[in-house]
Amino acid sequence: MHTMALPLKRPYQQLASFIKGLRDPPESRLGSIVLGLMVFAETLVCAFWIFVFSSLGDGYAVMVMFPYAYLIISYTSLLLFYRFRRFEYFTFTQLVMLLVMPFFMQWIIGGFTASSGIAGWGVLAPVGALMILGTRQSTPWFLLFGSLIVFSWMTNDMFMSSALPIPRHTQMLFFLTNIGGVATILYLLMRYFETQKERVLRELDRKNDDLLIEQERSDRLLLNILPKSVADRLKQNEQRIADRYDSVTIMFADLVDFTRISAGMAPDDLIDLLSRVFSRFDELTEKYGVEKIKTIGDAYMVVSGAPERRQDHAEVMANLAIDMQRALIELAAASGKTLMMRIGINSGPVIAGVIGNTKFSYDLWGDTVNMASRMEHYGLSNVIQVTEDTYHLIGDKFRFEKREPITVKGKGRVQSYFLTGKLEVNESGAYERAAAL
């Protein structure tokens, strides 16, 4: 029993120190743990072999040398790795020992029968290489294992002729140990790997769920600043988005004298009032399926017919403008503030696209945009002013008042119209005049 003291001296502490000292990436750490478990299992097996051969007498002392040699080389390489952080050196040494030692012991004992197939322990080398090094690097180890099996089979008769006399009960014990030990170690290794795989899959599922949540959040943020169709094109890595539209309708709406109205208001109250106004306008743009381009201070810009083309863009914009006026009246009554608004509308061709690399902006360019802005700027409080181009598109569906030509900067004298109401459809399908706003 004294002979067991050396191989079993503090194996738990040594392996614990080995695993605790690892500072490699997760994949290397996993391989280190697997190899550490295999070394610990082999340590127990070597202790068993030393005990069995020592109990058979002095004639079997040569057999004791191999497990001792394995333990010395194994733990020496372990200490060297722990000192120099050379995991590849330690791995190679352990795999070589796991592969070669069982075959040497089988040859010395006397072949397959006498050793009860102790060479089967060598399969742990290619299995360990597979788990630690991966499929590609494990192939040579498996080929080496197969070559040693073939060599042992071809030379089995030669080794049998010099077989040591092993008692039958010892052979049966060897047989049980070899079959049961290898199967147990393989099962524990596979179970450990399966546990790690399930843990990794659960972690991946959690990260995928988090990623989906973040992606949905990013999509919502993107849709807050870009139309959906444009955002989809950006997500498909379209580098430049610039489109020409032959006919759209643009509206500018601006709160009249809002600076004076908001004077003396607390910042929170001011933001809350603007938020209620623009949130109501946003609801109306969604109702009519038009696109809000931006807000500039207390001004509001909307386009109909882009990026989604539609034939009724002018009619839809007129309905939106009328509803916005009504909504503002309701908000003014609820807030106790005198809220008024100028609205300007124009129809015509534009260029639309996305500018910016970090802070994206979908915007419109062209004379149509400038004229819509002029209609708002030269308009009257609580009046919807439209250009002649827009009037020609919807003049038979809405009620208008012709305004005296106005002088517009850069355009000279311009004819415009005040949109004052809708025309209802009677039973015959014709439009009839409705009450003015």
Distance, in Å, from the CA atom of 372 to the CA atom of 381, rounded to the nearest integer, reads: 16
Q: Within 122-167, where are the H helices?
A: 124-133, 135-154, 156-160
Half-sphere exposure of 360 (CA within 13 A, CB side): 18
- Please answer whether residues 177 and 144 qualify as being in contact, where contact means their C-beta atoms are separated by less than 8 angstroms: no
The token pair that represents 172 in the structure block = 């049966």
Selected catalytic residue, list 20, 23, 359, 409: 409
Q: Is 374 a catalytic residue?
A: yes
Q: Which of 233, 374, 399, 422 is catalytic?
A: 374
269-282 CB burial, b ≥16 within 10 A, e <16: ebeebbeebbeebe
| Cβ atoms within 10 Å, residue 178 | 20
Enclosing H/E stretch for 163:
none
Quick count: other Cβ atoms within 10 Å of Cβ 76?
A: 11
- Establish how many alpha carbons lie within 13 A of residue 309's alpha carbon, considering only the half-sphere containing its beta carbon: 10
Residue type, 429: G
Can you tell me the distance from the alpha carbon of 77 to that of 85, in angstroms, rounded to the nearest whole number? Answer: 11
- Token code pair at residue 390: 């827009």
β-sheet bridge partners, residue 352:
243, 364
Distance in angstroms (rounded) separating the CA atoms of residues 113 and 11 = 32
Angle at 225 between CA 266 and CA 249, to 5 degrees: 100
Could you identify the residue written with the tokens 């069982």?
A: 102
Residue 409 is among the residues annotated as catalytic for this protein: yes
Closest CA to 119 of 182, 60, 75: 182
Structure tokens at 155: 């030379």
**Could you tell me how many helices (H) and strands (E) the chain has, helices first?**
15, 11
Distance CA 37, CA 60 (A): 29
Query: Could you list the active site residues?
Result: 374, 409
